[in-house]
């Protein structure tokens, strides 16, 4: 006999909010999700990520392979 009462309720259109703005709808066991960061604001995905280097290794790598630092 299957235990049907042990499974949580599934919401197929759960809303995901970041900084009070609706950013996407997903499937979840919670109807509303609030996140601090998502791919639309994360520096890695937006291209605003900066590499911190105290010994010049990043600059040396960029020069060696001719990569243009856009920032």
**Report field, pTM of the whole predicted structure over 0.75:** no
Question: Are the C-beta atoms of residues 25 and 14 closer than 8 Å to each other?
Answer: yes
Confidence (pLDDT) at 54: 62
What are residue 61's phi and psi, to 5 degrees? Answer: -65, -45
Question: Taking phi first (over 0 means left), then psi (-120 to 50 degrees means alpha), and beta for anything else, what does residue 43 get?
Answer: alpha
Q: Which range has the top average pLDDT, 1-5, 22-26, 43-47?
A: 22-26
Strands 21-28 and 11-18: antiparallel
Confidence (pLDDT) at 51: 61
pLDDT tens digits along 26-52? 999 999 999 988 888 777 777 776 666
Confidence (pLDDT) at 28: 96
Beta-carbon-side half-sphere exposure of residue 66 (alpha carbons within 13 Å): 0
- Average pLDDT of the residues in 8-35: 94
């Amino acid at each position: 006999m299957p235990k049907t009462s042990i499974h949580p309720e599934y919401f197929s259109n759960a809303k995901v909010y970041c900084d009070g703005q609706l950013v996407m709808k997903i499937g979840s066991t919670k109807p509303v999700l609030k996140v601090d960061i998502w791919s639309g604001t994360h520096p890695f995905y937006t291209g605003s990520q900066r590499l911190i280097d105290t010994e010049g290794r990043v600059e040396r790598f960029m020069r060696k392979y001719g990569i243009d630092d856009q920032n």
